[in-house]
Amino acid sequence: MLYLTHHGATVNSCPLHGLLYLPNSLADMKKMDKSELLRASGERAWAAACDGRAIKDPSLLNRFVALIYVDLKKYTFCYWFGFPVVRLPEECEPWPLFLVRLASLNTAYTTLDTPEKRAAFLVVPTGEEVQIRPLEELPTLVADSRPFYLAFSDPSTSPTHPGWPLRNLLALVIHRWGDSLSRCNVLCYRREARHGHVDSSHSLVLDVQLCTSVTAKDNSTPMYVGWERNAAGQLGPRTVDLSASLDPARLMENALELNLQLMRWRLAPTLDLETVASTKCLLLGAGTLGCSVARCLISWGVRNITFVDNGVVSYSNPARQSLYTARDCRDGGRPKCDAAAEALHAVSPAVHARGENLRVPMAGHSHVRADVRRLEALIAEHDAIFLLLDTREARWLPTVVAAAQRKIVINAALGFDTFLARPGDNGEKLGCYFCNDVVGPADSTRDRTLDQQCTVTRPGVGAIAGALAAELLVGLLQSPLKGRCPASDDSEASSENPLGPVPHQIRGFLARHVYMTPTCAAFPMCTACSQPVLDEYARRGWEFVLQVLNDAAYLERLTGLSRLHEETDLDQVWALSDSEESTS
């Protein structure tokens, strides 16, 4: 609890005495006895009126109570102000008489030597001029039958009603001199500077009938009112949310949003930033590609990103993978998914990033059922799926599940100086990542030597491919068809998309600095997106997945690739036979 007083005020201000309560919690604020707080503050004003201190220092009648709860984590302020004033009977209520303009009053007002005396005073007309007298001279003026105005500094701006400080002033006058004074004129002095000049033309003069029910001499405290009403017009506190101005996370979020808004205002008026921000992205793989894609996504304003990886940060990672530092490599290395999510949140606190330590089930590898179920649930929870994994077979199950759930799939893969970025969706009969394969996915890591187990690429390839993958997603989201929009490399089609046409795939060759955007049709015998695979997955679910994980050749038999291989081998035999006969 703080006692607030202010001295040395300017000529245009008056001191206000009050109590500030700062409860520890919002619940404590609600539990506080508001009536008792107002009554206790009113008692202080009434005590000053009874012992005569308020006659010499009228500012003691003007009091306030402030309840303020501050949530320093959310930067919200809940406050409630109370200004205790005596509850007067209706016959004592002042009524406006007329507006006045006392030119000499402004000059006389500045002669008051202390701010406390400006709270309330007497104005005595002397011909065309006025004089200001202290309150203690009121009995003398009444005895001499001299005209005077009971004046106070009025904070109200109402053209017809005075401010609440008048109530306590009238209570003082009635209590001290009510026996000899039944009626008086009250000057509600309002002073403000306008265009370099002091103006008091909006002051009010009131003819007040003084009641006798407040003239008790036993000094008992009268009833007090004065709690402010909130924006809804009810007795209750107000709340101010300053997080947009004070919270560093919100300031950063607003700065990023402003950058994106400028892009829309200046260059792309039809850019749909809201859809991009609300898209939930699942990144399968938190390595070189995962870090690059994530950084580009948050630059576009994406707010929900989930990393899936079961690896740990090694000492070779931080140089190429932008979300990790050397500290993440200590003690055996932190899980990549957790370190990436934490780093992404540190870069942009507004991002909801989380990590899932999960090994993606791969064709030809044995796995438990829980991994498959968890992967299916994660894909169902997100809108866009990025396949950024090291091996081809690791991309098979996510491709099948995403195709069955009609999700947007973006693939990115790296070579030494080559890369591929492509959206995978079969809605327009476009091929997925596996549509160019004529063999089923198998364990490609078996019998690899140590040097073959490491991904070897030029350092810039990962950043380029990751950025293009993120840009492909944003481009897809600008189309009304989203992930099912047709592939296009026609410059005329760019007018329909503020970011230009979206190709089916982008193949880059850094050795020659060449980019290609081919379009590939869906392969009816594809091991991932063909109808036989999707139908079998929908019918058998886990049993189908388990069979594929344990027997990669099953996919070739299911899709007809095995028969295609046999026919191809037979054709080669006949071709060889014809050649031999012709040379014999």
Is 454 a known active-site residue?
Answer: yes
| Spatial contact of 189 and 108, defined as CB atoms under 8 Å apart | no
Quote the distance between the C-alpha of residue 270 and its chain's center. Answer: 23
| Identity of the residue numbered 285 | G
Distance CA 152, CA 117 (A): 9
Distance CA 187, CA 106 (A): 13
Structure tokens at 22: 């700062």
Distance CA 172, CA 54 (A): 8
Phi (first) and psi of residue 302, to 5 degrees: -65, 135
Distance CA 71, CA 109 (A): 43
- Catalytic pick from 14, 92, 296, 454? 454
Element (H, E) at 568: helix 561-583
| Spatial contact of 345 and 367, defined as CB atoms under 8 Å apart | no
Structure tokens at 339: 């370190």
Element (H, E) at 67: strand 63-71
Range 340-369 burial, b when 16+ CB lie within 10 A, else e:
bbbbbbebbebbebebbebebbbbbbebee
Phi (first) and psi of residue 295, to 5 degrees: -65, -40
Beta-strand ranges (E) seen in 312-406 are 352-357, 384-387
Among 238, 253, 92, 263, CA closest to 168: 92
CA torsion angle 359 364 367 369 (round to 10) = 110
Element (H, E) at 260: helix 248-266
| Spatial contact of 377 and 398, defined as CB atoms under 8 Å apart | no
Element (H, E) at 167: helix 165-177
| Spatial contact of 412 and 281, defined as CB atoms under 8 Å apart | no
- Angle at the Cα of 421 (from 419 to 426), degrees rounded to 5? 140
Bridge-based pairing of strands 384-387 and 506-509 is unpaired
| Spatial contact of 420 and 412, defined as CB atoms under 8 Å apart | yes
Q: Helix or strand or coil: residue 431?
A: coil
Alpha helices in 6-119 (DSSP H): 26-31, 34-50, 53-56, 103-109
* Residue whose entry in the numeric block shows the structure tokens 């930033």: 273
Distance CA 507, CA 412 (A): 10
Range 530-562 burial, b when 16+ CB lie within 10 A, else e:
beebbebbeeeeeebbbebbeebebbbebbebb
Active site residue ranges: 454
